[in-house]
Homo-oligomer: A and B are copies of this chain.
Amino acid sequence: MSVTIKDVAAAAGVSIATVSRVLAHKDRFYSPATAEKIMTVARDLGYQKNSAAVELVTQKSQVLGVIVSSTQTNFADQIIAGIQDTAFARDLSVIILYAGVNDDRLQQKAIQTVIERSVRGILILALELNDANRQLLDQTPIPHVFLSTTSGHEQDAFVASDDFKIGQRATEYLINKGHTRIGLAAVEATSYVGQKRLAGYRNAMANHQLPIESEWIQAGHFTYADGLVAMRQWGPTPPIDAVVAMSDLAAVGVLNQATDFHLNIPNQLAIVSIDGTDLVKWVRPQLTSITQAFYDMGVAGVNLLLNTDTQPPAAQLLPFKLDERASS
């Protein structure tokens, strides 16, 4: 059995109530002398507080739960860094739960875990929940915000980039560069993110009276393989002269397959990637990208979560930028 406040109390010759008060830095209703004695004894005995007991009695927890999908994408680390730093500053702990890749059971398990621990709040990263799991979450009083995705439900809070504008901006950039036949790689038409970016693309093309061929748009799920496949569909003499990839990973897939086709990037095919993680700087040519503010997304997410107590949930769109590199 580990050492409890009872042990500390006995060793210090005081009551457990007093020990509890000084260890929890409660009020200042105790003399400095007792406080010091208790602290010393506690340290000597190797006392560690039992969070289960604390949370049981206080009915609240100082931990934030983050649910991530296993890396289809590679930007989660940045968001988590933002979350971690902000939480740390507010003296909260962060626990991260992987929810697999489109695995409803794992997703459920992760949600269940955070609910049962009645965490202070839940952050859902780049993940779309199925109806059952959403319901599970909504049943609880635990505040939750979606990051880099939306739940698709008005009442939910989320922090993300404006995906419509991202699609629009990337497309317009290429149009301004003189491209007219612009393709899309790894478009996930079933997700809100994918739909919005696609809409932004269509909007930009329409605004410039540019027609779109259906074969220009290749479906996928943001992965490297999807980029590869998209380019393979277009073939060695592609019908397009530029492409917007829906993720850095997909962009690299497009790039590698295009290079294998001996296409010159950017002369024969320009590439713009969406995300702007370090990966775009590791490949050659370096990829022009829409760079999202992932770290800030983590920061904003935590703040939003903590404000949910006092304010109604809100949506927040973060600015992004376009970084020009060698691929366009």
Which A residues form the contact surface with B (CB < 8 A)?
1-2, 46, 48-53, 55-56, 59, 61, 63, 70-71, 77, 80-81, 84, 88, 93-98, 100, 106, 109, 113, 115-118, 139-141, 224, 252, 256, 259, 278-279, 282-284
Q: Is the CB of A52 within 8 A of B55?
A: yes
Q: Other than the known A52-B53, A84-B98, A279-B282, what 13 A-B pairs have Cβ atoms closer than 8 Å?
A: A1-B59, A50-B56, A51-B117, A52-B52, A52-B118, A56-B56, A71-B77, A80-B98, A88-B109, A94-B97, A95-B97, A256-B282, A256-B284
Q: Is the CB of B117 within 8 A of A52?
A: yes
A118-B52, A224-B282 known; A96+B95 contact, CB < 8 A = yes
How many copies of the shown chain assemble into the complex?
2
**What 5 A-B pairs have minimum CB-CB distances, sorted nearest first?**
A95-B95, A96-B96, A52-B55, A52-B56, A51-B116
Q: Is the CB of A224 within 8 A of B55?
A: no
Question: What's the minimum C-beta distance from A134 to chain B, rounded to whole angstroms?
Answer: 14
Q: A85 to B247, alpha carbons, bound, how many Å?
A: 26
The one of B84, B115, B283 in contact with A282, judged by C-beta atoms closer than 8 angstroms, is B283
Q: Is the CB of A252 within 8 A of B282?
A: yes
**Looking across the interface, which residue of chain B has its beta carbon closest to that of A259?**
B284
Complex contacts, A278 vs chain B, CB 8 Å: 224
The one of B49, B94, B106, B141 in contact with A2, judged by C-beta atoms closer than 8 angstroms, is B141
Q: A22 to B2, alpha carbons, bound, how many Å?
A: 30
Q: Is the CB of A49 within 8 A of B283?
A: no
Q: Is the CB of B139 within 8 A of A46?
A: yes
Complex contacts, A139 vs chain B, CB 8 Å: 46
Complex contacts, A256 vs chain B, CB 8 Å: 282, 284
Q: A249 to B265, alpha carbons, bound, how many Å?
A: 24
Complex contacts, A282 vs chain B, CB 8 Å: 224, 252, 256, 279, 282-283
Question: What's the minimum C-beta distance from A124 to chain B, rounded to whole angstroms?
Answer: 15
Complex contacts, A52 vs chain B, CB 8 Å: 51-53, 55-56, 61, 117-118
Complex contacts, A252 vs chain B, CB 8 Å: 282
Q: Is the CB of A118 within 8 A of B50?
A: yes
Question: What's the minimum C-beta distance from A8 to chain B, rounded to whole angstroms?
Answer: 15
Complex contacts, A88 vs chain B, CB 8 Å: 106, 109
Complex contacts, A109 vs chain B, CB 8 Å: 88, 93
